[in-house]
Chain A
Amino acid sequence: MDATVKSHFTTKDEHAPAKPLIFWRPTAKTGLISWLTTVDHKKIGFMYGLFALVFLLVGGCEALLIRLQLMVPNNTLLTAQQYNTMFTMHGTTMIFLAVMPLGAAFFNIIMPLQIGARDVAFPRLNAFSLWTFVAGAIILNVGWFLPDGAPDAGWVGYAPLTSRAYNPTHATDFWVLGLQLLGVASIAAALNFIVTIINLRAPGMTMMRLPVFTWMTLVTSFLIVLSFPAITIALVEVMMDRQFGTNFFEVSNGGMPILWQHLFWIFGHPEVYILILPAMGIISEILPTFSRKPLFGYPIVVFSGAAIGFLGFTVWSHHMFTTGMGTVATAAFSLATMAIAVPTGVKIFNWIGTLWGGHLKMRTPMMFALGFIWMFMIGGFSGVMHAAAPADAQQHDSYFVIAHFHYVLIGGSIFALLAGIQYWFPLVVGRVVSDFWGKLSFWVIFVGFNVTFFPMHFLGLNGMPRRTFTYDGNMGWNTANYISTIGALILGTGIGIYFTVMIYTFFKGQKATRDNWDGRTLEWSLPNPPPEYNFRVIPTVHARDAYWYEKHHQEEIARETAEHAKDDEAHGGIHMPFSSIYPLVASFGALVGGFGAVYHNLEIALIGGSLLLAGVYLWSMEGAEGYHLHLDADGNPVEDTHAKH
């Protein structure tokens, strides 16, 4: 191939006039500026993970306060107002600021590595997603430090409780605008992931060779893109009602509070799968690796993941069985909900099939993965109980529901995310958590979790409603509540051990070997931590478990790699994008605008909006510039004759 053919996205012309200072591109590789302006998917993913873990701890502390308040009947640790704030923020924080961004962290770091890409499709958009997420998190939580207080209308924010008549302070505005920004961040990130998976797969990586985690990333991203608009609309309507006196939910003027519930749950139910599908993807990676055999029934696992995503849009009203929908609607949503149990069950069967006949290596990630299957099964079964609408009339909004969704979200999502952190830690950080401490944390978390949440099934069936700051001692709820609180303290201790060990390992842990777990997917072909450009040579994929194939066909792959390296060099080397300040500027504009909207201050809202628009405009004007890297066969940089920097 002609050596003068350059990659088409190299726009830098040596003779072009110097760009104005406003288009300054930071080039630092370390230091604060490099993190604030990075477009590297691994750094962005790492920051997503850090923020998510901080909020996981914040949400966890809120949960502990809730449990301490309910430890004994008629407790006075928290006031009603404080308790209501606590459960509202616990739910909102855990869903939007802990589990979702933790999933986003994995999407960012792992997914491009699994498909053999050098970054996501739109690196600067990716940075914008991260910083807009941070802006949303700030607005959501800033109420803690202001006289108005943090949001306290429940994480579902049912109208008309969110109207100004019943929530006159700005607490609800924080909630509305915070969620709105988080939605923007999620949609931008999800579009980015979709484009990346569709377009940036390495040669030979057909859709049916995608690792299951990447498949679940794709399904989740579609769920985000399709479901968030519903809550965006609903939040805009609440905002209009609160700020401009419109009548979407204003009963005295004919508004319909039930509308909020439909809009919220047609987002809210896919949201549940947004939280659990990445977890299922992680489990589908870990089980084959530690069983040393491929996933059992890959096509059916992928298909059932997609089916869950699809059916997820048809069952939203099972959150509304008690709203008086009438017999036919209730029956339809009841049956649709039961139908979801089928693809979910299929996944569990296939995971067991994966284990069958394998050589199970009982390492910490595997422990969490097996714990996931058990806990998720229990959560799934109580889910089927809810699908039976008349029985649900008794369970709805009781502690039975609390037990159910914590089995799915902690026993499910969080267990899988903790498994994933342990699993990919050696790759991302280059150190491996000690097996003893990892397993110890698993057992403490496992025991604490079950002691906390299993008694809640009994509480719910015994009639204890959720979101109650106090209860009387004569209702038969004392013992179960007491045990549950003890369990929460054990669970908190387990999480504490987990993260202490993690932090210790980060700084001083044992160094991981390359391909630490004998992995099967492409990310394990990389040195740890992976270099900025990920792959020296874009791999060619020949089979489903691409790296496993590589390991067993080394000569063929070496020959191919050498050829492709030559081709790459002929294209001008590895193209790397410059960092950019504008995603951060645009997100800062969103933050300022958000505050303006919260305080109904038109000027500040306009200033923020202008800043956001200016950021986006300048970001598109500065161009997708970058530089080229030239590497020798060992991955060492070679002096670049064309280098601009």
Chain B
Amino acid sequence: MRLNSLLSTSARWGRAALAFGGIVLLTGCDLNFWRMDGHQSTIVVDGPVAVSQRDLFYVTCWVTFVIFLIVGSVLAYTTLKFRARSSEEENAVPPEQGHGNPLIELSLIGASVLALVIIAIPTLKGIWYTHDVPEAEKANAYEVNAVGQQWWFRFEYPNEQIKDVGQLVTSNELVIPAGRPVHINLRSMDVIHGFWIPKLAGKVDMIPNRGNFLWVQADQPGYFWGQCAQYCGDSHAVMRFRVIALGPREFNDWLNRQMEPARTVKAEADRPKAQFASYRTDFKRNEKGWSDKFDLSPLDSWRAQQEPDPKAEDVALILKGRATFQAKTCVNCHTIRGHEGMGVTAPNLTHVGSRTTIAAGLLENNPEQLARWLRHPDEVKPGNKMYHGIGGMAGYMKKDDTGKEVPNIVLTEADISALVAYLSSLK
């Protein structure tokens, strides 16, 4: 090969390597993934349960790391020292044909048992501590129920009884008091789900016909990410939720507001004609549904979401949305307490406008994403029951006589725009 062609070949390879390196860097990324400080970190955690679990993990980590160092060094030393370096060495007279040494064996077994005891003691302590709220704090514990369904979570507050209605019910965003143990009863309506708020506690499964529970405590007010941890069918990956921990006063304010029926906008005498908003329609399947701004201060974003902004509201459009909600049979599955609808097979939407996410923690709750969700629920959340129907009730689709799916609910862009206005007004 001539020199210049060799040079051009190596230049080509060099460029390829550069391009490859560029791709690696372009994906984003900080190489700090080993810090493990994401929204669902089990290392950078909050609250006594997750802290005790993390500390136990550190114990196991250190014990095994020390053993790994010792055994690994011996293995590496042995491999290097006794390696045959030439064919003469390979074919030399075989080494002594020794069969072992019981004393070494027994002492090594003893040492491993000892190492395991170091892990076993905090493990046993941890099992009892993380199992339930400590006896001394039981009186102070707050109780909620979490119910898993394909693919969303319902949260019930048995202590908060609403007159003539029953307990307070919300969905997909669990609000808890900070600085207090919270005892969460876990139930499932269909298949097995896993209830996991990594920053607050390890997961416990929600199993049908089984009364599981777990306890968590958020030491500080905060906004936490949660996710279903047990494979539960098509949209398992996007069955998410949020937990918002609030100080005592803010929590009480929130409770009081939630106990109210749904917010009704005042119909004005000379109400102007509804202005239809138009939203982006070119979402790709799976496209991310959140803004970077939100993450910077999620708790403040949540607080901002609580307050209605009457000036920005189009009253006529909201009223049209309320009618549409009824006309399109949304009311069969969704409850909006104080308005129409008393279905229980779908998330309770009484105060949906005050939540930060929709579609079970998947999309940020803003008009654009809400429109996307209403337009193509099947793309946002494959297999979801709003689209396919549930328990014999039709959704966007229904089964015809042959069992084939045919369209049932058809929403025009005008319908969507009205529904978005209505749902967003339900603060």
Contact = CB atoms under 8 A, between A and B. Distances in A.
Interface stretch (B115-123, B259-267, B334-342): B115-123
B27 to A, nearest CB: 5
Contacts of B39: 463, 474-476
A293 B40 contact: no
A342 B209 contact: no
A390 B52 contact: yes
A360 B96 contact: no
A544 B38 CA distance: 56
Interface stretch (A26-34, A225-233, A379-387, A500-508): A379-387
Contacts of A17: none
A480 B72 CA distance: 26
Interface centre among B52, B102, B204 (most CB of A within 10 A): B204
Given A161-B231, A472-B290, A341 B209 contact: no
Contact of B237 (A76, A339, A461, A469): A469
Contact of B95 (A359, A395, A455, A469): A359
Contact of A467 (B59, B210, B231): B231
B89 A359 contact: yes
Nearest to A167: B233
A547 to B, nearest CB: 13
B127 interface: yes
Given A338-B120, A461-B41, A394 B382 contact: no
B201 A362 contact: no
Interface in B193-222: 194, 196, 198-199, 201-205, 207-210, 212-213
Interface string B224-254: 0101111111111110000000000000000
B91 to A, nearest CB: 9
Contact of A475 (B38, B43, B150): B38
Interface centre among A298, A338, A473 (most CB of B within 10 A): A338
Contacts of A466: 231
A479 B60 contact: no
Interface stretch (B75-83, B159-167, B419-427): B75-83
Contacts of B52: 390
Contacts of A345: 108-109, 112
Interface centre among B38, B198, B295 (most CB of A within 10 A): B38
A374 B75 contact: yes
A471 B122 CA distance: 34
A256 B209 contact: yes
Interface string A447-482: 000000001001101111111111111111111101
Q: How large is the interface on A (under 10, 10 to 19, 20 to 34, 35 or more residues)?
A: 35 or more
A349 B108 contact: yes
B186 to A, nearest CB: 8
Contacts of A298: 99-100
B105 to A, nearest CB: 5
A390 B205 contact: no
B71 A377 contact: yes
A79 B284 CA distance: 12
A300 B105 CA distance: 8
B82 A358 contact: yes
Contacts of B71: 348-349, 352, 377
Contacts of A348: 71
Contacts of A478: 27-29, 33
A161 to B, nearest CB: 5
Contact of A470 (B228, B231, B286): B286
Given A257-B207, A323-B205, A390-B127, A480 B288 contact: no
A467 B232 CA distance: 9
B136 interface: no
A479 B31 contact: yes
Contact of A463 (B32, B34, B38, B60): B38
Given A331-B127, A389-B127, A322 B97 contact: no
B42 interface: yes
B191 A323 contact: no
B92 interface: yes
Contacts of B31: 479
A394 B198 contact: yes
Given A161-B192, A384-B60, A479-B31, A293 B84 contact: no
Contacts of B212: 323-324
B359 to A, nearest CB: 13
Given A353-B100, A479-B28, A462 B38 contact: yes
Given A360-B82, A468-B236, A349 B105 contact: yes
A160 B190 contact: yes
A480 B131 CA distance: 32
Interface centre among A346, A377, A463, A464 (most CB of B within 10 A): A463
A362 B191 contact: no
Contact of A465 (B65, B128, B229): B229
Contact of B96 (A293, A342, A544): A293
Contacts of B67: 381
Contacts of B54: 391, 394
Interface string A44-75: 00000000000000000000000000001111
A477 B38 contact: yes
Interface in A283-301: 291-300
Nearest to A381: B64
A385 B120 CA distance: 11
B62 to A, nearest CB: 11
Interface string A332-358: 001100110110011011101101111
Contact of A462 (B36, B59, B60, B213): B36
A388 B98 contact: no
A258 interface: yes
Interface in A478-496: 478-480, 482, 486
A641 interface: no
A296 B99 contact: yes
A393 interface: yes
B52 to A, nearest CB: 7
Contacts of B186: 324
Given A334-B127, A335-B120, A384-B64, A161 B232 contact: yes
17 contacts: A80-B382, A83-B237, A296-B100, A322-B203, A346-B108, A352-B71, A353-B101, A355-B82, A357-B98, A381-B67, A384-B116, A391-B123, A458-B34, A462-B40, A462-B41, A474-B288, A479-B30
Interface of A: 72-76, 79-81, 83-84, 154, 158, 160-161, 165-166, 251, 254-258, 291-300, 322-324, 326-327, 330-331, 334-335, 338-339, 341-342, 345-346, 348-350, 352-353, 355-362, 370, 373-374, 377-378, 381-382, 384-385, 387-398, 455, 458-459, 461-480, 482, 486, 544, 548
Given A158-B230, A251-B208, A396-B203, 13 more contacts: A75-B286, A166-B191, A292-B95, A338-B120, A338-B123, A349-B104, A350-B100, A362-B83, A394-B50, A467-B236, A470-B286, A473-B288, A477-B38
